[in-house]
Amino acid sequence: MDLDTVDAADFGQSLRGVGLNLLVRDVGRSLDFLRNVLGMDVFQASDDFAILRSGAVLLQIHADHTYHSNPLAGILPEAGARGAGVELRLYEVDPETALERAQDHEGATVLQEAKNKPHGLREAYILDPDGYCWVPSRPLTPDEMKALDQ
């Protein structure tokens, strides 16, 4: 499927498994973060919508105004962070690279620098301009795993 040209109906009918769709205040601002900090591929970007890919995972973002008749529209916060308690984990995005990019990105907030975790990942926590929490991570090397045990 060509994500640059697929129409909405064909795209929708192709989706399987779990889907991620984030409502954002400004699609362009969100795309800037997702592309430049997290290295996502972007398709069919407009002021209303975009398809994104990180590894094998597809994600959609929609501008708030596109949800005018959706039941979710009535509970969107006017200000402040969105998605509290949800971690959007990217298992194939180097946390150091994402942190370096986030430092220079307006609206990005580093919640936690990259750390080696006992569950076998090196990960960082970064908030995007809408307050969604992204966790770029990579598997620990054998030497990093050994160092955790000491």
SS3 109: strand
137 falls within a domain:
yes
> Does residue 57 fall inside a structural domain?
yes
* 1, amino acid identity: M
Highest mean pLDDT out of 6-20, 21-35, 60-74: 21-35
Q: How many domains does the chain have?
A: 1
Strand order in the sheet with 20-24: 20-24, 57-63, 49-54, 41-43
CATH value at residue 22: 3.10.180.10
Angstrom distance (rounded) from CA 124 to CA 11: 32
- Cα 40 to chain centroid distance, Å, stands at 8
Q: Is residue 70 part of a domain?
A: no
Residues 48-63 pLDDT 10s = 999 999 999 999 999 9
Determine, yes or no, domain membership for 25: yes
Instruction: Write out the residue range of the structural domain in which residue 124 sits.
Output: 8-65+81-149
| pLDDT value of position 66 | 87
